[in-house]
Amino acid sequence: MPNLPVLFWLQNRIKLTKKQMKMNDTCAKFPYLYDLHFNNYWQLHQSENRTIHLYSAFLDVREQNPLGPTVRILAMADHSSPETNEAYCQLWFNDSTEPVFAKVESYMKITHHNSFPVPYLLSCPIPANHSLRIPETVSLVSQPCDAATNSLKVVFDKPEPQEKKKFAVCVKFHYGPDDDISVRLAEWIELLHALGADKIFLYDLGVHPNVKKITDYYTEKGVVDTTRFSLPGFQPNLPLLNSMFLDNRKTLKRENELIPINDCFYRNMYRYEYISLQDSDEVIIPTKHDNWADMMEEALNESMKVMDGKRSSWHFRHVYFLDKMFDMQRKQGYFPDIPSNMHMMQHVYRSNKYNPELFFTKAFHNPERGLAMYNHLPTSCLPDGACVNYEVNVNLAQMHHYRKTCKPALWDVCHKYTNTTVEDTVIWKWKDRVVSGTQGALRQLGFFDKN
């Protein structure tokens, strides 16, 4: 129950009940757990002409936030322009039996598309006379005194500065009970960990049993954090059906992915120096350094030479490592000193042609600046909405993308990428560690027979 304030409800239910029994005219009673309107992992706010599906809420006290302390809510709306309707947040605190009201000041559309439901970031600035308090829960209502049908736990996980870690990787949800990417996923996790990822955050919409074996294994090792996820509204949540649905509704798939991406970003914005959004078939590879930390130190210094001040993100040029390129160049088959199941370590032939700047790019994001995150770059940043992004030179790093063929948008020109192939073995710098870790995990989990 990731978004429910269960602990707050248990600790305060007697106190709140007694208070409300004495004051039957109390405005905005605290909603009982059993009166909330649920849809899987989502809660609902409904009025005469709209339904908003609420997923998670966070307290934003970043220095760059011009609104001051603000509760941010990730939601999906079943119509466009919900900002035309007035709405309020009921904020509940541990030291009070009455809520504080805050008007929703911003409905920020996270996507560029218009397929419903649409992902939004809602912002409720905490009134100045309560700005030093930390809210425990928030409810979205049409008018301040309305009876709420939702109650989200407000996440505020801010460690001491010396406890802040370096790199978090957020991954849009995995889905498809017939899609067994387990072996390649293990290699990818091992590589990211070797590069310096402190933790990899995954979202599970219903995966193959072997994939769950892998994610459970690395969760126990403390490398991975997995959150169960579901689709809001009319969209199906039976694993086989939702995979068919998403494969045939690509725009809706991209809309839905923005919720876990932003949820991961906000959940970790105080805990990591950099947050990267990467898919499990791609990885940002340093071409000069041995790890992400050294790479980003130089990237930061280079960006400062162009313009003082920290950027919103540092993004990397996209380059293809397609299956066809290996088949064309490696006539004698697999490299004999590398296990054949190590896909990235075997596929060291890439296009000599990089995708144009900003095409399919991925980045390391600055959690102090990001406001609304898209799959590639932020769509809005603090303090004024504008995002200042810096492209890292390919002499320093590049974004490897391992696919069977080009992205659909490039099918007509894919031959231009496959006809200019070069060998690039920079990934072998981490070969021994990644091969050892991957094979050890697969062996321990029973992926190999006893021989």
3-state SS assignment for residue 413: helix
- For residue 385, what is the DSSP state? B
Length of the chain: 451
Q: Is the model more confident about 311 or about 19?
A: 311
User: Quick check: bond before 117 cis, omega within 30?
Assistant: yes
Note the Cα 377 to chain centre separation in Å: 12
Q: What is the mean pLDDT of the chain?
A: 92
Given a cut of 60, whether residue 153 has pLDDT beyond it is: yes
User: Cβ distance 268 to 293 under 8 Å?
Assistant: no
3-state SS assignment for residue 285: strand
Phi, psi of 378, rounded to the nearest 5 degrees: -65, 145
Whole-number percent of the chain with pLDDT over 90? 79
Q: Show Cβ contacts of residue 31 under 8 Å, excluding neighbours closer than 6 positions.
A: 139, 147, 148, 149, 150, 151
Q: Quick: pLDDT tens for 97-137.
A: 889 999 999 999 998 777 789 999 999 999 999 999 999 99
Q: Quick: pLDDT tens for 270-317.
A: 999 999 999 999 999 999 999 999 999 999 999 999 988 789 999 999
Q: Is 116 exposed, middle or buried (0-12, 13-18, 19+ CB in 10 A)?
A: middle
For the whole model, what pTM was predicted?
Answer: 0.95
Please state, in angstroms and rounded to a whole number, the distance separating the CA atoms of residues 300 and 306.
Answer: 10
3-state SS assignment for residue 216: helix
Please state, in angstroms and rounded to a whole number, the distance separating the CA atoms of residues 54 and 73.
Answer: 7
Burial state string for 9-37 with b = 16 or more CB within 10 A and e = fewer than 16:
beebeeebeebbeeeeebebbbbeeeebb
Architecture of domain 161-444: Alpha-Beta Complex (3.90)
Question: For the chain, what are the domain ranges?
Answer: 6-155, 161-444
Given a cut of 50, whether residue 371 has pLDDT beyond it is: yes
CA-wise closest residue to 169 among 200, 196, 138: 200
Given a cut of 50, whether residue 321 has pLDDT beyond it is: yes
Q: For residue 24, what pLDDT is reported?
A: 42
Average pLDDT over residues 40-60: 92
Q: Quick: pLDDT tens for 54-108.
A: 999 999 999 999 999 999 999 999 876 666 678 999 999 998 888 999 999 999 9
User: Cβ distance 390 to 397 under 8 Å?
Assistant: no
